[in-house]
Amino acid sequence: MIYDVCVIGAGPAGMTSALYAVRSGLSCVMVEKLGYGGQMAQTPELQNYPGFPEGVSGFDLAQDMGKQAEEFGAKLIRAEVTNIDFSASPKVISTPSGDIKARSVIVASGVESRKLGCPGEAEYAGHGVSYCATCDGNFFRGKDVAVIGGGNSAAVEAQYLAGICKTVYLVHRRDTLRAAEIDVKHFASLDNVKFVFNSIVDRIEGADGKVSGVCISNVSTGEKRTIPVSAVFVAIGKTPATEFLQGNVDLDSTGAILANDSMATSVPGVFAAGDVRQKNLRQVVTATSDGAIAAKSALQWCTHH
């Protein structure tokens, strides 16, 4: 079968573009390696998505967005996209379980967690090194843990972990957080969050195959010390998930897709939506907006080609 649209990624941008595509009469398949929601599904509570004054679970909202897209006729294939051929007609999207053919493509593959790159990080990944507090925090209930980073993600992760862990060390390389003011203020009410500022991670230590401590250096004084922790949650930002495009679509220096106001990329018939594209504000609300626009552009493309 040749689909009108293949959407790569089923986060809020992908699910919204699929919803708008099928509702405008296009056949549409979403390809997603994990479950619905992407980053959103790992967010315990969204407090800034309009229409939910009490907040809403990112996971629950993701399930509802996916259900809505499927009920209007979008198909979901669970697979990782490993290769693409956008020069072919129809375009080819390759996965280990087979090729998908589509007249247009919406890339909504989101972002991936940035790595520290220090010794011990890869060795203990899944054994105390984590990139998602809501996924793994429960394994460290009542234990001492560290969160690395100073942005919104680190603040959200630290606040979540403060509710279940004994002590949360928030290790940041500067002396102030860049997280939103509302989150920074919230820390004042959390006795078990300890700030470790001006500090970089040298390595992550382990014993018996699991994390036992994080070794840090103070960038001002040069002092080195090890904080004994059972887990290290790395929250130092995200990088766009564009490796599978293998240079076939124009990217900026950070690897984000360059797309115009219509979500059109450098490749005719290929559109981008959500966090994967170069933009100023990466939020669920901007992702869903991108998704709707990308679907409209895909409709125009399919109508004229």
CB of 198 to ligand NAP, least distance (A): 10
Residues constituting the chain: 305
Residue closer to ligand NAP (CB basis): 105 or 229? 229
Q: Which of 174, 224, 225, 305 binds ligand NAP (CB under 6 A)?
A: 174
Cα-only R_g, the chain: 21
Would you call 135 a catalytic residue per the annotation?
Answer: yes
Residue closer to ligand NAP (CB basis): 152 or 167? 152
Residue closer to ligand NAP (CB basis): 35 or 44? 44
**198 CB neighbour count, 10 Å cutoff:** 17
Shortest CA distance to 40 belongs to which of 56, 17, 18?
Answer: 56
Residue 272 in contact with residue 106, Cβ under 8 Å? yes
Residue closer to ligand NAP (CB basis): 26 or 154? 154
Q: Which two tokens stand for residue 87?
A: 């020069």
Question: Whose CB is nearest to ligand NAP?
Answer: 151
Would you call 136 a catalytic residue per the annotation?
Answer: yes
State how far the Cα of 147 lies from the Cα of 131, in Å rounded to an integer: 9
CB of 214 to ligand NAP, least distance (A): 12
Residue closer to ligand NAP (CB basis): 55 or 268? 55
Please pick, among 64, 85, 118, 136, the residue that the annotation labels catalytic: 136
Shortest CA distance to 284 belongs to which of 5, 37, 17, 55?
Answer: 37
State how far the Cα of 210 lies from the Cα of 204, in Å rounded to an integer: 10
- Between strands 238-240 and 111-113, the pairing is antiparallel
CB-based contacts of 132: which residues, under 8 Å, 6+ apart?
42, 113, 233
Place of tokens 């904080």: 227
Q: Which of 109, 153, 242, 288 binds ligand NAP (CB under 6 A)?
A: 153
Q: Which of 128, 149, 240, 274 binds ligand NAP (CB under 6 A)?
A: 149
Q: Which two tokens stand for residue 270?
A: 């290929």
* Segment interacting with ligand NAP, rule: CB under 6 A, options 60-68, 83-91, 236-244, 246-254: 236-244
Q: Which of 15, 116, 251, 287 binds ligand NAP (CB under 6 A)?
A: 116
- 152 binds ligand NAP, rule: CB under 6 A: yes
Task: Print the binding letters for residues 252-281 with ligand NAP: x by CB under 6 A, - otherwise.
Answer: ------------------------------
Task: Print the binding letters for residues 180-219 with ligand NAP: x by CB under 6 A, - otherwise.
Answer: ----------------------------------------
State how far the Cα of 130 lies from the Cα of 133, in Å rounded to an integer: 7
3-state helix, strand, coil in the chain (%, to 5): 30, 30, 40
Please pick, among 6, 28, 132, 302, the residue that the annotation labels catalytic: 132
The footprint of ligand NAP on residues 38-97 (CB under 6 A) is: 48
Residue closer to ligand NAP (CB basis): 86 or 233? 233
Q: Which of 85, 237, 292, 296 binds ligand NAP (CB under 6 A)?
A: 237
Shortest CA distance to 242 belongs to which of 110, 76, 66?
Answer: 110
Q: Which two tokens stand for residue 113?
A: 């967690």
For binding to ligand NAP (CB under 6 A), which residues are involved? Answer: 48, 116, 148-154, 156, 173-174, 178, 235-238, 282
Catalytic residues: 132, 135-136
